[in-house]
Amino acid sequence: MNKIVEARFIAPDIKLFRIEAPKIAEKRKPGQFVVVRVDEYGERIPLTIADSDPNEGTVTIIVQGVGKTTKQLNLLEAGDYVRDIVGPLGKPSEIENYGVAVSIGGGVGTAIAYPTAKALKEAGNYVIGIIGGRSKEYVILEDEMKKICDELYPTTDDGSYGFHGFVTHKLQQLLDEGRKIDFVLAIGPIPMMKAVAEVTRPYGIKTVVSLNPIMVDATGMCGGCRVTVDNKTYFACVDGPEFDAHKVDFDNLMKRNRMYIEHEKKALEEFICRIDLMAKKLEKQNA
Amino acid sequence: MPELTNKERMQIPRHHMPEQPPEVRIRNFNEVNLGYTIELAREEAERCLRCKKPVCVEGCPVAVKIPDFIKMVAEGKFKEAAEILKEDNALPAVCGRVCPQEDQCEKVCVVGKKNEPVAIGHLERFVADWERKNLGFRMPEMKPKTGKKVAIVGGGPAGLSCAGDLIRMGHDVTVFEALHEIGGVLIYGIPEFRLPKEIVRAEVDYLRQLGVEFKTDYVIGLTETVDELLERYDAVFIGVGAGLPYFLNIPGENLLGIYSANEFLTRVNLMRAFEFPKADTPIMNLQGKDVAVFGGGNTAMDAVRTALRLGAKKAMIIYRRTEAEMPARIEEIKHAKEEGVEFIFLSAPLEFIGDDDGWVRAVKVQKMQLGEPDESGRRKPVPIEGAIEIIPIDAAVIAIGNGSNPIIHKTTPDLKVNKWGNIIVDPETMKTSKKGVFAGGDIVTGGATVILAMGAGRKAAKAIDEYLKNPDIW
Ligand SMILES: Cc1cc2nc3c(=O)[nH]c(=O)nc-3n(C[C@H](O)[C@H](O)[C@H](O)COP(=O)(O)OP(=O)(O)OC[C@H]3O[C@@H](n4cnc5c(N)ncnc54)[C@H](O)[C@@H]3O)c2cc1C
Ligand SMILES: Cc1cc2nc3c(=O)[nH]c(=O)nc-3n(C[C@H](O)[C@H](O)[C@H](O)COP(=O)(O)OP(=O)(O)OC[C@H]3O[C@@H](n4cnc5c(N)ncnc54)[C@H](O)[C@@H]3O)c2cc1C
Ligand code: SF4
Ligand code: SF4
Ligand code: FES
């Protein structure tokens, strides 16, 4: 059981948590993640460690409510507990001084890119941040990113804030302007990462993405998280989650992530049903 | 009852294990074997000749005093029987159920020369179950506290038996387990219908009451390294098992619907996917589907029988060799056949074929025939040229074995491993190349058996005890 010491929404459906986990806080490196289980019947879900405070013994995670487990997690408040948290898992990001590094985050991907972007800055890179969202309220961690980026470009699909367009359009614009870029880190929805890979491929820019396959144990025991990279099979939880974007088979990953789509729908419907029932009961009690 | 002569004993037929009928059990996850009644157990115990030189004991990897405990069963002294068993076997309720008895104790039993061997495993199980139900927790003899601390890495049978012995020797023991539940393969691998989880939990609770501390969600190598453990503990035992699933490495293996046995069984056992949506973790819907399981060991049998229970219309074992070479326990093969599992022998998978959405739809197999015997005397399967078959399937489970997970040795540079990543130990003491660190179980031997892992854990406990008394002996 691990205690939540802080919980607050930072965007619609996106919640930041600080959770007590002293050993993980002490050990973790940028790019690593934890597995969280909310309760006894809970699924094991992987979440990136966005930040940590070794003195206080906490790790920060930022969770987007997309399905049953993440929505259930996002109902928790400071003072509540999660049943399990284990980590730090996965290989840390390979941090080097590449020169000019662009860190691209799409949606909640910004939270996953943030710790690595910070480490890239600390390693001496000139860091350009591109952080996208559907509209203004979905652009997250702008203040945090501003602190560590030499240049920061928020983008929105609907133009309600910052650059009007996708993160890839902004990246293409920088390249068209003839900007020298030595390294790109792109984290977000799979179509976005695939699109970034296509933008940088002709320029031969080293591009790294963080893959998000479905995981179970996340310690290399099940092979459920296997991804195809350079026509070889890797276990993303131990060999990744970061891989060379130009070699990833995104289509296979996209298909594999749809494996339980029917189950996910059902689980979410039942969960919402249950919450509604609970709300009605409470209303009755209070009436 | 008058004392029987050996001749009379030899003529009693073996008492068969009462079990759920196949048509009922394939619809539930409850245990297939129901256990002997007191009468059945006592009658079966009468079949033992109480040999002066009991060869069965030599057949048992931990040398359980078989005739002694069976004699107590015959006399109805079950408490005494349990005490004799416990002297050599820390997990009799487990071993009675899952030991490959036909290759061990029962293989050599002299009764088996003329009749079926004494049902040693069934009797062992009976005694352990009787003890758990009737006596509850009893404090064993505990040595005075030594003030020494031992860290056990991995909560499988190797780690648990090592922990149980060390705590009784007076040492403080902490078990570190990567998953959220203790038990190793006993919890995540072997299904409920063969080994109820309640039994494993009872064993773990027993150790907890003796004072063993358990830390789950703790991956040694990542959360803390072996070297860091050594700063806090006087010795470390590594029993992390063989948890890295092998795949076939053939085209199409990453299609949807293809699982490793580890993933398939973990989803169902540890994560309780058969209770979805009460449990959050899903498993693909197998109702009315055709499922192929590749392999011929216990893991393959567990997977194929689990698939049946999840509603598969057709559950197949596809194996490269023939039935005679299958390493699974005979009882599992028998049960699988009764439940309607189809066996396709002498067939090696070449490729999985998928549809546009990425789901597996068929497997292409190469038919084989047995060739000349190789050095080991086994006839090796060789391809029959041109004999290729396409078998339609909706799901596949790969159960061809496990290698060793590299997390520990990658983060412990001075721990010597062989080319398969198995930790190298001194077979007498289970000492590794690193001072203060011992290892045993599947991580040393590669995938083996519960009883061997347990035996290794106990051997290590003895050596650790000596080492703690006198670290200079290293
Ligand atoms: C290494 C890694 C780091 C991640 N970091 C973050 C993060 O920092 N913040 C964040 O909001 N999300 C993160 N994710 C994604 C997050 O794990 C999933 O959104 C979550 O598991 C969905 O669970 P659910 O029950 O809410 O949704 P569901 O309705 O069950 O699933 C929605 C989608 O999430 C994916 N998914 C489902 N189950 C799992 C699972 N067990 N493991 C992985 N993916 C799954 C599938 O693609 C599925 O279609 C990360 C994923 C990985 C692999
Ligand atoms: C499906 C299946 C069926 C089987 N059926 C039988 C049978 O019928 N009869 C039989 O005798 N044998 C059977 N076996 C084999 C038997 O289960 C194993 O030989 C035995 O469990 C090995 O015990 P162990 O303690 O060495 O390892 P395990 O049981 O594998 O336990 C190792 C534990 O260590 C944990 N761990 C791993 N890495 C770390 C780490 N870095 N930090 C902390 N913890 C870690 C794991 O999570 C696990 O809990 C079967 C195996 C499988 C997979
Ligand atoms: S532990 Fe296994 S091999 Fe030994 S007597 Fe019991 S069943 Fe037989
Ligand atoms: S060999 Fe068979 S008959 Fe002899 S003691 Fe052992 S179990 Fe009894
Ligand atoms: S999640 Fe099981 S091996 Fe990666």
Q: What is the CB neighbour count within 10 angstroms for residue B348?
A: 17
* Ligand 4: residue whose CA is nearest its atom 4: B51
d(CA B389, CA B318): 12
Most distant CA pair in chain B, distance: 73
Q: B2 pLDDT exceeds 70? A: no
- Of all residues in chain B, what percent are helix, strand and coil, respectively (each to 5)? 40, 20, 45
Report which of B251, B225, B232 is spatially closest to residue B148, judged by C-alpha positions.
Answer: B232
d(CA A257, CA A211): 11
B53-57 average pLDDT score: 94
B86-107 average pLDDT score: 91
DSSP B185-239: HHHHTS-TTTS-HHHHHHHHHHHHHHT-EEE-S--BTTTB-HHHHHHH-SEEEE-
Nearest ligand, CA B51: 4
* Ligand 2: residue whose CA is nearest its atom 38: B240
Least confident interval from A223-227, B58-62, B378-382: B378-382
Within 8 A of A69 by CB-CB distance, chain B residues are 280
- β partners of residue A46: A35
Residue of B nearest to A254 (CA): B358
d(CA B405, CA B65): 35
Contact B90, B454 (CB under 8 A): yes
Predicted confidence (pLDDT) per residue in B191-224, tens digit = 999 999 999 999 999 999 999 999 999 999 999 9
Cα-only R_g, chain B: 23
Q: Which domains does chain B have, with CATH numbers?
A: 6-134 (1.10.1060.10), 149-243+404-473 (3.50.50.60), 247-398 (3.50.50.60)
Nearest ligand, CA B220: 2
Same-fold call for A2-89 versus A100-257 = no
Predicted confidence (pLDDT) per residue in B413-428, tens digit = 999 999 999 999 999 9
> What residue spans define the domains of chain A?
2-89, 100-257
**pLDDT at position A285:** 82
Confidence of residue B341 (pLDDT cuts 50, 70, 90): very high
Nearest ligand, CA A241: 1
In the DSSP assignment, the letter for residue B159 is: H
**pLDDT at position B11:** 87
- Tens place of pLDDT per residue across chain A (287 aa): 999 999 999 988 999 999 999 999 999 999 999 999 999 999 999 999 999 999 999 999 999 999 999 999 999 999 999 999 999 999 999 999 999 999 999 989 999 999 999 999 999 999 999 999 999 999 999 999 999 999 999 999 998 988 898 999 999 999 999 999 999 999 999 999 999 999 999 999 999 999 999 999 999 999 999 999 999 999 999 999 999 999 999 999 999 999 999 888 888 888 888 888 888 888 888 77
Nearest atom in ligand 2 to B185's CA: 29
**pLDDT at position B1:** 54
**Mean of per-residue pLDDT scores for chain B:** 93
B118-135 average pLDDT score: 95
- Asked if omega into B383 is within 30° of 0 (cis), the reply is no
DSSP chain A: -EEEEEEEEEETTEEEEEEE-HHHHHH--TT-EEEEE-STT---EEEE--EEETTTTEEEEEEE--SHHHHHHTT--TT-EESEEEEEESPPP-----SEEEEEEETTHHHHHHHHHHHHHHTT-EEEEEEEESSGGG---HHHHHHH-SEEEEEETTSSSSEES-HHHHHHHHHHTT----EEEEESSHHHHHHHHHHHGGGT-EEEEE-----SSSSSSS-TTEEEETTEEEEHHHH-SEEEGGGB-HHHHHHHTTTTHHHHHHHHHHHHHHHHHHHHHHHHHH-
* Residue of B281, B356, B405 to mutate when probing chain A, most A C-beta within 10 A: B281
**pLDDT at position A159:** 87
For ligand 2, say whether the CB of B221 is within 6 Å of any of its atoms.
Answer: yes
- The SS3 of residue B55 is helix
CA distance B15 to chain A (A): 39
B391-403 average pLDDT score: 96
B226-245 average pLDDT score: 96
Nearest atom in ligand 5 to B262's CA: 2
**pLDDT at position A284:** 84
Q: What ipTM was reported for this prediction?
A: 0.93
Q: B124 pLDDT exceeds 70? A: yes
**pLDDT at position B88:** 87
B432-450 average pLDDT score: 94
In the DSSP assignment, the letter for residue B423 is: B
Q: Which chain B residues have any C-beta within 8 angstroms of a chain A C-beta?
A: 178-180, 216-219, 222-224, 243-245, 247, 249, 253-254, 256-257, 259-260, 262-263, 266-267, 271-272, 275-282, 284-285, 357-358, 405-407
Which class would CATH give A100-257?
alpha beta
d(CA A24, CA A38): 17
Instruction: Name the residue of B450, B452, B454, B459 to mutate for ligand 2: max ligand atoms within 8 A of Cβ.
Output: B450
Q: B267 pLDDT exceeds 60? A: yes
**pLDDT at position B6:** 87
d(CA B247, CA A228): 14
CA distance A188 to chain B (A): 22
Domain A2-89 has CATH 2.40.30.10: yes
